Structure 1
Amino acid sequence: MTMADQPENIRYTADVVAVTNDGRVLLIKRGWDPYEGHWALPGGHVDRGETGLRAAVRELEEETSVRVTEDELRLVGIWDQPDRDPRGRYVTVTYLATVPADTQATAGDDARDARWWPLTDLPERLAFDHADILAAVLRLPAS
């Protein structure tokens, strides 16, 4: 059996694209490597026994203090490019949450900062492939 025939160790993560109804998106500043100091979508590892949807709700609240329910999340897609994370193979399921314009966010857990950014004026360099994820969200039809 060659290396290509062997199963790969894959880590499962969930990310949330939280947007306000006035066109802003919530990003966190990463406080750890890889991409320490870069802006990223809130998200993280799916814990043992947890669904991706439940992990998305938990990670959003832990990193930004923004609370949503599972029913408020809409599946955006799955990102599984082999080189999307320098730590190894990561597959992320991404959800969209639309929240009121006055929603407050506070950095928590391992986020240095949490801030609402205009979708038309995002930071220059986002962590991982989060610019691609945001571009996909902007192409979604309104629901």
Structure 2
Amino acid sequence: MTETEKFETIRYTADVVALTPSGNVLLIERDWPPYEGAWALPGGHVDPGETSCAAAARELSEETGVQVAADDLRRIDVWDAPERDPRGRYVTIAYLAVVPADTQIVAGDDARRARWWPVADLPPLAFDHADIISATVGSTS
């Protein structure tokens, strides 16, 4: 490494845009900083030895009780803007899960609440999750 090379810690996460055919998206109310009390997509850190797709399925289950096989998730894109998270550099891969309209949800793990929201009437969202939802909805139409 030369004196001009600099490296930063990059954290690897996965988020899930769970949509119903009627256009509702599943959000959690965050129970921890940053953005404590704000609404966000289910998601979290990729564990050692885990793929981002497996992490997405696991986090969706842990935070909302929704069970989806990793093979049923569709990769949307990567979000890696340097300032997307106030805790430092985070890179996330977002996945789409289309689930039946009557899918039951239960807040768990790091979520105060979990709720279905109409895509056309979302609350203010944490991080860049509004951009992720917008890109996902645009890719499914």
Task: Tell me if both proteins adopt one fold, taking TM over 0.5 as the criterion.
Answer: yes
| 1:141 Cα offset (Å) | 3.9
Are the structure 2 counterparts of residues 47 and 139 from structure 1 closer, same or farther at C-alpha, using a change threshold of 3 Å?
Answer: same
| 1:115 Cα offset (Å) | 0.2
Residue-by-residue CA offset, 1:68-110 (whole Å, 9 max, x unaligned): 0012100000000000000000000000000000001110001
CA distance in 2, matches of 1:136, 1:7: 30
SS of corresponding position for 1:131: helix
SS of corresponding position for 2:121: coil
| 1:8 Cα offset (Å) | 1.4
| 1:67 Cα offset (Å) | 0.3
Normalised to the residue count of structure 2, the TM-score between the two structures is: 0.96
The question of 1:26 aligning with 2:33 is answered no
Normalised to the residue count of structure 1, the TM-score between the two structures is: 0.95
Q: Which residue of 1 aligns with 2:128?
A: 129
CA distance in 2, matches of 1:44, 1:119: 22
Q: Which residue of 2 aligns with 1:109?
A: 109
1:134 is aligned with what amino acid? I
CA distance in 2, matches of 1:55, 1:37: 23
Is there any run of 5+ residues in structure 1 with no aligned partner, and where?
A: none
CA distance in 2, matches of 1:138, 1:25: 10
Are the structure 2 counterparts of residues 21 and 141 from structure 1 closer, same or farther at C-alpha, using a change threshold of 3 Å?
Answer: closer
1:68 is aligned with what amino acid? V
CA distance in 1, matches of 2:135, 2:63: 23
The question of 1:13 aligning with 2:13 is answered yes
Stretches of 4+ aligned residues off by more than 6 angstroms: none
CA RMSD of aligned residues (A): 0.8
Residue-by-residue CA offset, 1:23-57 (whole Å, 9 max, x unaligned): 10000000000000000000000001111000001
Are the structure 2 counterparts of residues 28 and 141 from structure 1 closer, same or farther at C-alpha, using a change threshold of 3 Å?
Answer: closer
Equivalent residue pairs, number: 139
1:135 is aligned with what amino acid? S
CA distance in 1, matches of 2:134, 2:23: 14
CA distance in 2, matches of 1:139, 1:59: 24
